[in-house]
Structure 1
């Protein structure tokens, strides 16, 4: 078959592009590490869009991407096709005469290898996996960490779970043991659900993941056999990869055209030789032909069909690399590496308690923190007022002053919390930030505490965060109050780790709050860079008591579905307040605003789908939450924009989707 032109290869690529490769190249592009040869891994439309939006020409350099599958020899290493679990033989002039017979004997392991495919993910599939052990009615499947990590995530204790998309859908995975040369939709199904993540290596560990099939509607294939723990394959030994190579622009285009004949994404059997044995802590290397999609392929020894390693990467024209079988054996036996056994050490510790006397001298939130630049006049920043039904649930701390202005404030260093004893939730927090006096404190061991100024029985604790979907979320960010003297900053940092400052946050929110965190960083960095002060109020958005949908409660902890934030600083003149409001939302609050104003035509197709950050009018935030923000509505920067003024005049809610910090109206 004649070699295809570059234009023809790109055209074919657009029809058959492995999701793993597209993501890898896109990630590299964003990191400014993309070689020109990798451009063909993106569709022409994507390339043009990136050129227009990202200054693509200036991003191209001569560096190469490493850590992926590769063609090692341009000739003599054909990746043989597989049809109905049988190898389709070709001449193998670079191998000894007995090679074909060895291949025919080892092809019995072909049914044990499958393609790792995803559920609820933008990528259809990402690599290869294989059965290594039967477990009850199911089986244990081996693949690479970098494949499983696309849909799974590690917890602090080293265990792992399937994650969620930004839209909230639970990711999942299956293994398809077919996808061969002549596979078609009507074939007998040999696809099994991968229902659990048994093990997911951390980034410092070997590139391994173990996934579990708990049951299947067909007889699961025979587990592949690993070589002995003390056995090492020798240099020159005949081996083969079984997996699903896909087009990879980092490899020589002519070699790919010759080897693969424009047929990718199907199961293949690629023979080769060992280049270096896995001795003295070294990786196992070999010259079998591989491409993107081979991630997770077993490297089998042709003399007996046993697995000598787990393929995970390669460098074109140099060598492919595998995790040695003995490492796999240790992981399967539960002998986790030190980095996994110690996961979480230094991250979280057992809960503690602090008596009321510890907080002696804490001043809490300073409502007279902001002063006019030219007149030194105090510009007061009072707490937003809670609606009566929520104010009545607030806990009163034991150290409340005899005649307090805010009797329900739990006062800490540079911030305060108003906490609901019924919901076990901070209803509003307020923090003073002084950028000129900021002190950077490195995060250490996360240990959370009960504040005994209120009953421990109305506070959250470790038992409320057993579910892997639920995290402890700081309402006052750890870094925000860290300013003043070193002692003050350390004390403020320490104070943020009290459960009254924690909100249960579910994973869909955590995965969708990158812009929210970006906003928080923007606020803090701006105060540090420009040396100005800010007062920041934060709270959950709670559903109405008569709402058809109740609050999400997991392990006794209320997990709010939306949050709001109000940032108050000085305006450009330095003599008046400047306020902006934001929500982290899936659209419930915004829908409520639209519905309350009978804009029914706007509701047709109203669906935001994932957590996003919006800048909103303070008056609209007040209406949607029933909190009283009257002291700040007149200082709202958003209402100074003509379009917003017109919308408010027409009774329309004002909300601006924030996809980049430059979109914030200041």
Structure 2
């Protein structure tokens, strides 16, 4: 940006207008009442406030920033990676020499900027570690990253979407943005991943991954926590902040905001016991995520995250930063305590002991024949860490809950199946009459990671069978489709375990008719033609999934893959389907930088799509390599051309006869 005298004068005028007592009282009352999280206000936003604009649309972060000492703590200007010195009468002699000695640190600090968001930027970030020559990890605050992202179950961050346009947010780090810099001086580097986003009950930290050439070096971390009285400095991007006295801001900043500053000060209180790490370096909104470095050796002693005007600023200690940077994560509650009411609901349902499942063989990947193997989709190692391990786990078939003719791989954090797999034998299918449904817990898994009847008390939430009740109901010993044998009964009953159910919102009913019709189509085809089929089904878990009052997240999309013998029985035939408003398809467009994703893509009603198995694999992260060559949609002429052009291959289905087989 360019900050000439005219702009300084104009902004000073804005500050003066903003000093209007009535307006300041409105801002302060809004903050005090909790109606808006207090944060920085940019030039444009200050003018918007002065015109009577909406406070909630202007003020966005949830942490305080503050001038602690009204004099003697100048935020020094950074220009061309050099710190502009000023008299420092409050500091010991030689402090200016120490500042110049740590001057290289400023190159490793950048502004956290947003893509597709109404806020152009949200705070400060700095290089905390180096992965390789082209990859760095950036440290900033959780409350900065949460402006554009949400925390996933695995502790990572997932970029959210604009509620207005539906376009996904993004982030960049710009290591310049100095006083008198020009737009061409900007050096934004794309954030490729949010590798850690703290829970609200953990220290205010987020870690971002960036990739690119000529990236700055990591700032070294101090070996120990900082002592009180240590000379330190804050490096960041302070913005005009209506919570701080305008005269103090005018004296310190002279109308120059949103540019890189180096603010020296002292550690006020050392971290330890119940004592927080505090300092008196001058900060304003925009300093969130700034490194607090020691002037003695240039090492980071903390991560600034909050402050109170005239009192103190707070920082996360270096030992916490070191643990997070090396991959350690806070230990949060892993289970869910069931209330007495939930216990009562489960008692009304039922629970099957481990011995009840003796002899269950689960899903058979060789069901279609040795030459037509249909293995479980491969699961990424990181996702496997979230899977539950049943007490009777077979070492050769890890993670599988084995039932009659089907298996379940269960996602522990979401307390729902990650996926199911069922063998369908059309020739020996048995029709088992449905009676009053009775659901059961499976005692091969801990009770606290399973849902119960109370979790489905919301009238808009249904128990959605992942393996349909009718699909595994067959027996090679049955004499007819009405010969309800013990095996068929057991298969039917096995589907009524909570481990086989996913939370389903009633809104899915908008597209459920065709989705259920698809399953009927598959089953009836198997019955009519007398052939076998293997069906995999699962929800798509997203960080932004709708959450119920009890905190449970409800999946908004479901996928299905059907494998069966092709005509002649010598080759595999496989097709994939999606029940969705179109989120997954839009993700595929965005991941391939297709402009369709940002040119008015609209999520419609829930509907069923057929999509290329290769695209399902990319979108879900599952290994479906066995099935991609057997996919008629992906291997059709149109499908091949689309894949070559980088387009996802999908077909909205209005009737079942539209399926590409």
Q: TM-score, normalised by structure 1?
A: 0.53
CA distance in 1, matches of 2:505, 2:298: 66
Paired residue for 2:198, among 192, 196, 201?
Answer: 201
Q: Is the 8 A contact 1:112 1:177 kept in 2?
A: yes
Q: Is the 8 A contact 1:470 1:504 kept in 2?
A: no
Instruction: Kindly state the Cα deviation for residue 304 of structure 1 after the two structures are TM-superposed.
Output: 0.6
- Quick check: 1:307 aligned with 2:280? no
- Quick check: 1:339 aligned with 2:332? yes
- Quick check: 1:222 aligned with 2:217? yes
Instruction: Kindly state the Cα deviation for residue 78 of structure 1 after the two structures are TM-superposed.
Output: 0.6
Q: Cα deviation per residue 1:333-371 (whole Å; 9 max; x = unaligned)?
A: 1110012877985532446799997952259xxxxxxxx
| 2:119 counterpart residue number | 123
- Structure 1: give runs of 5+ residues left out of the alignment: 15-23, 57-64, 364-393, 403-409, 427-454, 480-492, 512-537, 559-623, 628-666
Paired residue for 2:159, among 143, 162, 167?
Answer: 162
CA distance in 1, matches of 2:221, 2:207: 15
- Quick check: 1:88 aligned with 2:84? yes
Q: How does 1:564-575 map to 2 (within 5 A)?
A: none
Q: Cα deviation per residue 1:149-184 (whole Å; 9 max; x = unaligned)?
A: 222222223222333323232322211111112211
Q: Give the secondary-structure state (helix, strand or coil) at the position aligned to 2:200.
A: coil
| 1:213 counterpart residue number | 210
Instruction: Kindly state the Cα deviation for residue 553 of structure 1 after the two structures are TM-superposed.
Output: 6.5
CA distance in 1, matches of 2:69, 2:289: 21
| 1:320 counterpart residue number | 313
Q: Is the 8 A contact 1:395 1:419 kept in 2?
A: no
CA distance in 2, matches of 1:358, 1:227: 69
Q: How does 1:111-510 map to 2 (within 5 A)?
A: 111-137=107-133, 138-166=135-163, 167-187=165-185, 190-216=187-213, 219-228=214-223, 231-280=224-273, 282-339=275-332, 347-350=414-417, 360-361=435-436, 418=513, 420=515, 423=518, 457-458=534-535, 460-461=537-538, 465=540, 503-504=579-580, 507=583
CA distance in 1, matches of 2:205, 2:43: 29
Instruction: Kindly state the Cα deviation for residue 470 of structure 1 after the two structures are TM-superposed.
Output: 9.0
Q: Cα deviation per residue 1:95-114 (whole Å; 9 max; x = unaligned)?
A: 11111111111112111111
Q: Is the 8 A contact 1:39 1:249 kept in 2?
A: no
Q: Give the secondary-structure state (helix, strand or coil) at the position aligned to 1:257.
A: helix
Q: Give the secondary-structure state (helix, strand or coil) at the position aligned to 1:255.
A: helix
CA distance in 2, matches of 1:27, 1:357: 62
CA distance in 1, matches of 2:328, 2:240: 36
What is the Cα-based RMSD across aligned positions, in Å?
Answer: 5.5
Q: Cα deviation per residue 1:350-395 (whole Å; 9 max; x = unaligned)?
A: 46799997952259xxxxxxxxxxxxxxxxxxxxxxxxxxxxxx99
Q: Is the 8 A contact 1:74 1:255 kept in 2?
A: yes
| 2:597 counterpart residue number | none
Instruction: Kindly state the Cα deviation for residue 8 of structure 1 after the two structures are TM-superposed.
Output: 1.7
Instruction: Kindly state the Cα deviation for residue 324 of structure 1 after the two structures are TM-superposed.
Output: 0.4
CA distance in 2, matches of 1:10, 1:223: 37
Instruction: Kindly state the Cα deviation for residue 67 of structure 1 after the two structures are TM-superposed.
Output: 2.8
CA distance in 1, matches of 2:520, 2:64: 47
Q: Is the 8 A contact 2:538 2:558 kept in 1?
A: no
- Quick check: 1:101 aligned with 2:97? yes
Q: Give the secondary-structure state (helix, strand or coil) at the position aligned to 2:305.
A: strand
- Quick check: 1:540 aligned with 2:606? yes
CA distance in 1, matches of 2:321, 2:230: 20
Q: Is the 8 A contact 1:425 1:503 kept in 2?
A: no
Q: 1:552 to 1:236 in 2, by over 3 A?
A: same
Instruction: Kindly state the Cα deviation for residue 148 of structure 1 after the two structures are TM-superposed.
Output: 1.4
Q: Give the secondary-structure state (helix, strand or coil) at the position aligned to 2:537.
A: coil
Q: Give the secondary-structure state (helix, strand or coil) at the position aligned to 1:175.
A: strand
Q: Cα deviation per residue 1:413-466 (whole Å; 9 max; x = unaligned)?
A: 99996453675699xxxxxxxxxxxxxxxxxxxxxxxxxxxx99456226xx3x
CA distance in 2, matches of 1:497, 1:190: 38
Q: Give the secondary-structure state (helix, strand or coil) at the position aligned to 1:242.
A: strand
Q: Is the 8 A contact 2:41 2:240 kept in 1?
A: no
Q: Give the secondary-structure state (helix, strand or coil) at the position aligned to 1:461.
A: strand
Q: Give the secondary-structure state (helix, strand or coil) at the position aligned to 1:72.
A: coil
CA distance in 1, matches of 2:505, 2:201: 38
Instruction: Kindly state the Cα deviation for residue 330 of structure 1 after the two structures are TM-superposed.
Output: 0.3
Q: Cα deviation per residue 1:542-579 (whole Å; 9 max; x = unaligned)?
A: 68x9xxx9999634999xxxxxxxxxxxxxxxxxxxxx
| 2:616 counterpart residue number | 554
| 2:346 counterpart residue number | none
Q: Is the 8 A contact 1:473 1:503 kept in 2?
A: no
- Structure 2: give runs of 5+ residues left out of the alignment: 20-26, 336-385, 387-410, 423-429, 439-467, 474-480, 483-494, 522-531, 561-577, 588-603, 621-652, 657-661
| 1:567 counterpart residue number | none
Q: Cα deviation per residue 1:285-333 (whole Å; 9 max; x = unaligned)?
A: 0000000110110000111111000001111111100010100100011
Q: Is the 8 A contact 1:313 1:321 kept in 2?
A: yes
Q: 1:283 to 1:358 in 2, by over 3 A?
A: farther
Instruction: Kindly state the Cα deviation for residue 123 of structure 1 after the two structures are TM-superposed.
Output: 1.4
Instruction: Kindly state the Cα deviation for residue 497 of structure 1 after the two structures are TM-superposed.
Output: 13
Q: 1:339 to 1:362 in 2, by over 3 A?
A: closer
CA distance in 2, matches of 1:220, 1:157: 28
Q: Cα deviation per residue 1:195-233 (whole Å; 9 max; x = unaligned)?
A: 1111111111111111112222xx2212101111xx221
Q: 1:311 to 1:359 in 2, by over 3 A?
A: farther
Q: TM-score, normalised by structure 2?
A: 0.53
Q: Is the 8 A contact 2:157 2:195 kept in 1?
A: yes
Q: 1:362 to 1:30 in 2, by over 3 A?
A: farther
How many residue pairs match? The answer is: 426
Q: Is the 8 A contact 1:240 1:300 kept in 2?
A: yes
Instruction: Kindly state the Cα deviation for residue 86 of structure 1 after the two structures are TM-superposed.
Output: 1.1
Q: 1:497 to 1:95 in 2, by over 3 A?
A: closer
Paired residue for 2:74, among 48, 72, 78?
Answer: 78
